[in-house]
Structure 1
């Protein structure tokens, strides 16, 4: 099932993508696609019993918001693709590199990316987002995927100077407003299948920059969920973004970064596509 939220910022309503490609409104069925919905399997089961084509079509221009709300925390995994480690000239990590990304960075999949004042090194990063469905605390790798509700595209926009040249940890370069577009949909785990068999890509102004597969991850999704749960409790609605493949601006020679007026498009198989203008 492809769940979503639609509407102007601050007035979003729950919805889903029907098989005919139309956006259908769910506000008469569920209050919202939020952490409470994600945490309650009965709500999803009840929703699956509804014929999507019986729901009202959302007419006209449709803004897609982040596809779920109530996100308690965003946990990032750095340097998690073999080809990305090679392009950065860095050794393969022995354990996952973790950082946090502020929830205020969240925005919709087609909302504009706003460059911070004075930014000259804002970079693109297409990533697989993992949405936690049930509380995970020190879970085994074998049980980890059972705690996953679904998956979405996450764009881990990063200001490299703030990330790498201002001391401290990476969070300050990852957390500006609009630096975490997610969606367009939250796709339930049963519909996605194997999270390590998804092609993902990113293009800037029509030029392909990233083109890889989640199969190139150094630490797979199950290992990441298990590992993170050793250090913090993961709760329903928490989002883990799992790293990006080669082709980021930081890794190009010479380095290339986003500028006002450009357009970024990115996608992951089975999870849809995003598009953002840079302002």
Structure 2
């Protein structure tokens, strides 16, 4: 299934994208694509519905972040060896874990705002993993059962704050609008192998990132298991799993967003995002 949230910011309703690309309203069955609506039992009830029985949503509404009420937005750094190389950093022996503040989350096509004074705002297309079950201390063999589905994430990053302002990556990762997620939450039954998905990102029509989750250092099961040892994972938590090479920081010379650009990115089977870059 492809689940989504549509409507004005702060007033999003739950929806389902049917096989014809029509948005169907789920608000008669669940309050939101969030929390316990993402448990295996709830997803099974939604999957049993006939999409044609659900009201069709007219027009072309705004698409919001595909998960509501995200309590933890966990991110993984340097999870592609070639991206670590372009960043001048060693491939990590264990996952590098940091946070994106949940207040940075926006819809997949909402504007991304460069922070005041920023000269090093950058892009990162990433595979997002949405948790569907409360879980802690999982083994890798148990980890995939805790996953509800997947989505596209743009891990927008301010490199000066991330790297040059005291060494805490979180500083540069959670500015407002730095977390577009969606358009869809695609449930695990539609993605047979999250370790074999092509991904790409363009700036103003120029391809900067071309990669595949095949080259991740730590796969989805390893990351979910590892994070579950650091914290209790809850339904609706999002783990974004790292980016392939081609970020602005890795260009020679570096290229950063100035405002006015359009970022266009996507992952096979998970949809596409398009953001206008503005200045705060």
TM-score for the superposition, normalised by structure 2: 0.97
Q: Distance in 1 between matches of 2:167 and 2:87?
A: 20
Match of 1:32 in 2: 32
Q: Is 2:198–2:212's contact at 8 Å kept on the other side of the alignment? A: yes
Counterpart for residue 142 of structure 2: 143
**Counterpart-to-counterpart distance in 1, 2:83 and 2:100:** 20
Instruction: Give the secondary-structure state (helix, strand or coil) at the position aligned to 2:130.
Output: strand
**Cα contact 2:36–2:42 (8 A) shared by 1:** no
The number of equivalent residue pairs is: 278
Shift of 1:121: 0.5
In structure 2, what is the equivalent of residue 80 of structure 1? 79
Residue equivalent to 2:94: 95
CA–CA distance in structure 2, aligned partners of residues 235 and 256 of structure 1: 37
Distance in 1, Cα, partners of 2:189 & 2:162: 36
In structure 2, the partner of 1:60 is 59
Match of 2:181 in 1: 182
Could you list the per-position Cα deviations for residues 27-64 of structure 1 after superposition, in whole angstroms to 9, with x for gaps in the alignment? 1222211112113x332222112111222221123100
Q: Which residue is equivalent to 1:133?
A: 132
Matches within 5 A, 1:163-182: 163-182=162-181
CA distance in 2 between partners of 1:48 and 1:99 (Å): 33
Look up the match of 1:161: 160
Shift of 1:86: 1.8
Contact 2:149 2:186 in 1 (8 A): yes
Moved over 2 A (4+): none
- Displacement of 1:11 after TM fit? 1.1
In structure 1, how many angstroms separate the alpha carbons of the residues matched to 2:52 and 2:123? 36
**Which residue of the partner structure matches residue 190 of structure 2?**
191
| 2-structure distance, mates of 1:45, 1:244 | 31
Instruction: Give 1:151 deviation, angstroms.
Output: 0.5
Counterparts of 2:43 and 2:144, CA distance in 1: 17
Q: Report deviation, 1:90.
A: 2.0
Deviation larger for 230-239 or 170-179: 230-239
Question: What are the Cα deviations for residues 179-202 of structure 1, in whole angstroms up to 9, with x where unaligned?
Answer: 000000001011111110100100
Q: Which runs of 5+ in 2 are unaligned?
A: none
TM-score, normalization: structure 1? 0.97
Residue aligning to 1:112:
111
Q: Which shifted more, 51-60 or 116-125?
A: 51-60
Structure 1 gaps of 5+ residues are none
1:134 match: secondary structure: coil
Mapped partners of 1:64, 1:111: distance in 2: 9
For the residues of structure 2 that align with 1:151 and 1:234, how far apart are their CA atoms?
15
Cα distance, 1:168 vs. partner?
3.6
